[in-house]
Structure 1
Amino acid sequence: MTFANDPAPPTGRLDARAFLRAGIVLILLWFGYMKFLPYEAEGVKGIAETYWLFGWMYPLIGVQGASIVIGVLEITAGLLIALGGRFPFAGLVGALMGVATFVVTLSFFFTAPGIVAEGYAFPALGGTGQFLAKDIGLLAICLYLLFDAQNRLEL
């Protein structure tokens, strides 16, 4: 296993991977921070409280506690992805966490209310569906960074 740095892009070219990494890091850190705020905790509760993966936390640690756990996971993923430019193993773990995060949020498409606009059929998305749809692109970025880290580790 080698811990190579990101290879430099050819002279005069921008490194698209660095932009993808910076973008997903910003999103994960921002979303993670927001989980510490009461209004965001209440918003997350609306779709997470009855979800099998998160529902058990609400009776144990409450609305804010459950939201903080989710926020810590998002912030951790963001920090590890940020380190991934220099340390591929950290990037691999962070990208795996990002993939898991967005697979879980996309699974809400099957359980959350408001996915399809009222009075319409799929693919007419309602507010919740529109909010979750962005995670398709975020998942793709994390998958790209996961495979990139894997290649850099020569796994």
Structure 2
Amino acid sequence: MKPLHMTIVLLLLGISTALLGLSIMLLGPHKHITLTTDFYLITEVLPANIFNLLAALALITSATLAFLSIKKESLIPILGYVLIATSLVPLGSLLSNSMWIASMGGFPVIGSGQGVIKYFALLSIGILLSKRTLSPRISAWLSIFPVLLVLLWIGGMKFTLLEAQGIEALVKSSPFMGWMYGFFSIQTTSNIIGVYDLIAVVLLILAMYYPKLITPAILMSGMVFVVTQSFLVTFPGSLSSETILSTTGHFLIKDLWFLVCLFFYYSALISLEQNS
């Protein structure tokens, strides 16, 4: 990966984990951390505010290492291992029924787990940072897996009424997407977004084998996560004067990790093309 790309990667990681960690610390105990401790049967072991503090410190440590790694490259593998550990804890809780919507049959209809599956991106990033000698082909698949997962899974959910209604307030707040409700119904708008996500999935996979598709694939999928970040500004419930981010903001800021994955994917595909 080019030095400039790595700097951008580290900045995105540092900003996202710093904001998330500080916000969790200020917010105090909340549902998402309790769901995780419930799954591991440790909720009663320590006070809720201690678990909250541990989660916040893990993210703040990640942010500190990310910023320091910009100048001290030797810290990058350590950052990778910290990200792996930080991501594995919440990912394990996906095995809990509480992460899925019971009224719709449970798995694979995802509920609270929508924010948790985003830690797959952090896991992939951690592996890529700690194992920097991986082949371009393996790096490409490793970096794009979480992007494909979230676009396919959450994109697929867009075709359900529950998800269509769930994203309505967010989409309406966006100057980039809100206009769609003037022409289409709530469900049709959600369907269009879902189709866009699925097309991005196809392009990302094809780009692995057809280099000419690299740029459109990266741009199309990247726009999904860039627009998501715009919700931090346009959606009134995203930011908080007391906790920096609300829980909605937590969900949104994690999409910066997918942009990081796309940087790794682009770098891996360029290496593949040069070696072919």
**TM-score bracket, shorter-length normalisation:** 0.7 to 0.9
Instruction: Give the equivalent residue in structure 1 for 2:14.
Output: none
The answer as to 2:227 corresponding to 1:104 is yes
1:42 aligns to what? 165
Task: Please report the TM-score for the alignment, with normalisation by the length of structure 2.
Answer: 0.47
Say whether 1:120 aligns with 2:242.
yes
User: How many residues are matched?
Assistant: 141
Choose 1 or 2 for highest CA Rg.
2
Q: What is the Cα-based RMSD across aligned positions, in Å?
A: 2.3
CA distance in 1, matches of 2:233, 2:207: 32
Q: Give structure 1 stretches of 5+ with no counterpart.
A: 1-7
* Aligned CA distance change for structure 1 residues 42 and 81 (closer, same or farther; 3 Å): same
Q: What are the within-5 Å matches in structure 2 for residues 60-71 of structure 1? A: 60-71=183-194
Letter in 1 for 2:226: V
Determine the C-alpha separation between the residues in 2 that align with 1:99 and 1:36.
21
> Which letter does structure 2 place at the counterpart of 1:114?
G
Answer whether contact 1:92 1:150 (CA < 8 A) is retained: no
Contact 1:116 1:126 in 2 (8 A): yes
Tell me if the contact between 1:35 and 1:68 (Cα under 8 Å) persists in the aligned partners.
Answer: yes
C-alpha spacing 1:144/1:9, structure 2 compared with 1 (3 Å): closer
* CA-to-aligned-CA distance 1:67-98 (integer Å, 9 cap, x gap): 11111111111111112222222343221111
Counterpart for residue 149 of structure 2: 26
| Structure richer in helix, relative to its length | 2
Q: Which gives a bigger RCO, structure 1 or 2 (Cα 8 Å, sep 6+)?
A: 1
1:139 has 2:259 as partner: yes
Q: AA paired with 1:140?
A: V
Give distance in 2, aligned partners of 1:148 and 1:109: 30
TM-score if structure 1 supplies the norm length? Answer: 0.79
- Native 8 Å contact 1:88 1:152 kept in 2: no
Does 2:219 align with 1:93? no
Unaligned 5+ runs, structure 2: 1-133
SS of 1:15 mapped into structure 2: helix
